[in-house]
Amino acid sequence: MRQDFFPDGVREAALAAAAVDPGKVAADIGAGSGFITEGLLEKGLRVIAVDQSAAMLESAREKFQAIEAIDFRVGDSDALPIADAEVDYVFANMFLHHVESPPKAVKEMVRILKPAGRIVITDLDEHEFEFLRTEQHDRWMGFRRLDIEEWFAQAGLRNVKVDCVGENCCAKSSCGCDSARISIFVASGQK
């Protein structure tokens, strides 16, 4: 289902934007079944995978069962189950458009970053496909890149960049009468 929705190039763009170093600790927020987590593990990082859904984390746990470098934590974007300055990197792929308050979620993700740590968010550009809200529980119909820049700046981040991933998110409505093709951005910043 994930592969139909967005391609592996999104993960490559996210990891490249953070220039991750092996041996460091990364948080994957809204980790789902572990798409970003998988890439981080391959690069030799330890991962704290957070999701509000215990069932999603359980499916990730089954997928990565032999791997000790992951810590699964159930928790919400408003109060992440991670201490202040605990991680070197924060990643959030296709997560922000699900939360109630994106600027609040960004601040909370910055809280858990060590000084000089990096955050990378990959998500949808602003779009008009209402069926994603009614059928897929999206709260936000993508984002304006200027808003993302503003929320990053308000959270105290520097070296803020928002670029095109160069890939699209594709989805079909359940009736088959509407289909979406939405560009994806990669936003990064440093604490």
Which residues sit at the interface with ligand SAM, rule CB under 6 A?
2, 30-32, 35-36, 51-53, 56, 76-77, 93-95, 98-99
Q: Which residue, 76 or 147, has its beta carbon nearer to ligand SAM?
A: 76
Which contiguous run of DSSP H or E holds residue 163?
Answer: strand 158-172
Residue 157 half-sphere exposure toward CB, CA atoms < 13 A: 31
Q: Tell me the C-alpha to C-alpha distance, in Å, between residue 54 and each of 32, 57, 58.
A: 9, 5, 6
Q: How far out from the chain centre does Cα 68 lie?
A: 22
Q: What is the bridge-based pairing of β-strands 158-172 and 113-124?
A: unpaired
Residue with tokens 């997560």: 95
Residue among 49, 48, 42 nearest 22 (CA):
42
The encoded tokens of residue 178 equal: 């509407």
The encoded tokens of residue 191 equal: 């604490």
Which residues have C-beta within 8 Å of that of residue 160, sequence separation ≥ 6?
Answer: 149, 152, 153, 187, 188, 189
